[in-house]
Amino acid sequence: MKTVLLGVTGSIAAYKAAEITRLLKKADLNVVVIMTDSAQEFIAPLTFQTLSQNSVVTNMFEKRPDWHPIHISLADSADTLLIAPATANIIAKLANGIADDILSCTALSLDCPIIIAPAMNDKMWMNPATQQNVETLKQRGVKFINIEDGELACGTEGKGRLASPETIVEILLKVMI
Task: Say what the pLDDT of residue 17 is.
Answer: 98
Neighbour-count burial of 97, counting CB atoms closer than 10 A to its CB (0-12 exposed, 13-18 middle, 19+ buried): exposed
Q: What is the CATH code of the structural domain delimited by 3-176?
A: 3.40.50.1950
State the pLDDT at residue 64: 67
What residue spans define the domains of the chain? 3-176
Helices (H), 13-87: 16-26, 45-52, 70-77
Alpha carbon of residue 84 to chain centroid: 4
Asked if residue 52 lies in contact with residue 29, where contact means CB atoms within 8 angstroms, the answer is: no
Q: Which of 5, 8, 173, 171 is nearest to 80 (CA)?
A: 5
Look at residue 80 in the predicted model and tell me its pLDDT: 97
pLDDT in the model for residue 24: 98
Q: What is the pLDDT of residue 156?
A: 74
Output the pLDDT for position 165: 98
CA pair distance 148, 82, nearest whole angstrom:
17
User: Of residues 154, 156, 157, 166, which has the active-site annotation?
Assistant: 154
Decide if 154 is catalytic.
Answer: yes
- Which pLDDT belongs to residue 86? 98
Phi/psi-derived region of residue 150, left when phi > 0, alpha when psi is between -120 and 50, beta in every other case: left
List of the chain residues with pLDDT < 70: 64, 67, 152
pTM of the model: 0.95
